[in-house]
Amino acid sequence: MKRFLVAGRTDFVRRPWFGPLLALLSLYALFSFISPQTFLGATNLLTMARQTVVVAICSLGMTYVIMLGGIDLSVGSAVALTTVVVARALQAHAPPLAVIVLGLTVGGLTGLINGTLVTALGITPFIVTLGTMSLLRGAAKGLSDEQKIDADPRGIDAWMSMPEHGLLPPGVWIALFAAIVAGVALSSTVFGRHVVAVGSNEQTARLCGVPVARVRILVYTLAGVLAGLAGVLEFATLTVGDPTDSIGLELEVIAAVVIGGASLSGGQGSIVGALVGALLMTEIKTGCTHVGLPNWVQEIFTGAIIVIAVALDRVRKKPG
């Protein structure tokens, strides 16, 4: 029994998200210690959760893409495009439910474009999504006449507000739900196993009859749908369609996924890790404000955490 416990514990330590989780908790303790009245409060926790939603949802899709050995630089642009499309559709008096479906569809289409280009043309994902990053951004600007679009949110904004009754804003529940589905799908469905296999060794996957092209297109599409969801929630937060929204979001998302233990060469990554990574970055931003540190300190802090998290992971994995 004792032996079992010990084995269980080392197993836990070996998880890729263990280091980042430790960082998350110890920073939490540190910030709470320095400014106990404000940082420790429930409201602050809720706010942090809400602020993490967009990055977290995008990081779910990005985890899949990165585990596949790919990358998606277009996610920020896809989110911005979705906020614009949602705002335009609301202006045109489309029913809110249809607007949400439209937002997810637009996101999914951007992913489908990425996946198809990567698969059909055999161009590296970095190049393809570098292209679509600019392409989608341009489309967002064109569709919005280069202006922010005010639209009556007609109830969509409630998704990111505290409900009258209930613990968390619906958006946070949606993100949690999406994360659980993504995590279970990755670890224990055939699709998830195929994703890992293709990322680990594409030749082997082909040899084993894995439909490599289909898996790849599906993963990018899925990432797109999640970007669309993030876009809808971003609109719910801001209540404007903003073509300049989420510039640089892709880097924050990639950072979250990498902090969470993913390898950019594919085959390795974790949904829990990505969530922890996303939370960690929000926590640093929030903590620095509460402690009263200026922005530049916070940026240095975030950068250092990324490098340290990945370096620790390497050290931990070294044999012997």
Residues that bind another protein (CB under 8 A): 35, 37-39, 41, 43-44, 47, 51, 141, 146-148, 150, 160-162, 184, 187-190, 192-194, 196-197, 199-201, 203-211, 234, 237-240, 242-247, 267-268, 285-286, 289-290, 292, 294-295, 320
Q: Cβ of residue 110: shortest distance to another protein, in angstroms?
A: 19
The residue among 101 and 173 lying less far from another protein, judged by its C-beta, is 173
The residue among 11 and 123 lying less far from another protein, judged by its C-beta, is 11
Q: Cβ of residue 209: shortest distance to another protein, in angstroms?
A: 4
The residue among 3 and 203 lying less far from another protein, judged by its C-beta, is 203
Residue 226 near residue 60, CB atoms below 8 Å: yes
Of 319, 314, 317, 312, nearest in space to 26 by CA: 312
The residue among 160 and 305 lying less far from another protein, judged by its C-beta, is 160
Q: Cβ of residue 318: shortest distance to another protein, in angstroms?
A: 13
Q: Cβ of residue 144: shortest distance to another protein, in angstroms?
A: 8
Q: Cβ of residue 240: shortest distance to another protein, in angstroms?
A: 7
Q: Read out DSSP for the chain?
A: -HHHHHHHHHHHHHSTTHHHHHHHHHHHHHHHHHSHHHHTSHHHHHHHHHHHHHHHHHHHHHHHHHHTT---TTHHHHHHHHHHHHHHHHHTT--HHHHHHHHHHHHHHHHHHHHHHHHHH---HHHHHHHHHHHHHHHHHHHTTTS-EE---TTGGGGGS--SSSSS-HHHHHHHHHHHHHHHHHHHSHHHHHHHHHHH-HHHHHHTT--HHHHHHHHHHHHHHHHHHHHHHHHHHHSEE-TTTTTTHHHHHHHHHHHTT--TTSS---HHHHHHHHHHHHHHHHHHHHHT--HHHHHHHHHHHHHHHHHHHHHHHS--
The residue among 118 and 288 lying less far from another protein, judged by its C-beta, is 288
The residue among 98 and 181 lying less far from another protein, judged by its C-beta, is 181
The residue among 101 and 206 lying less far from another protein, judged by its C-beta, is 206
Q: Cβ of residue 268: shortest distance to another protein, in angstroms?
A: 6
The residue among 1 and 190 lying less far from another protein, judged by its C-beta, is 190
**Max Cα-Cα span within the chain:** 67
Q: Cβ of residue 259: shortest distance to another protein, in angstroms?
A: 19
Q: Cβ of residue 244: shortest distance to another protein, in angstroms?
A: 5
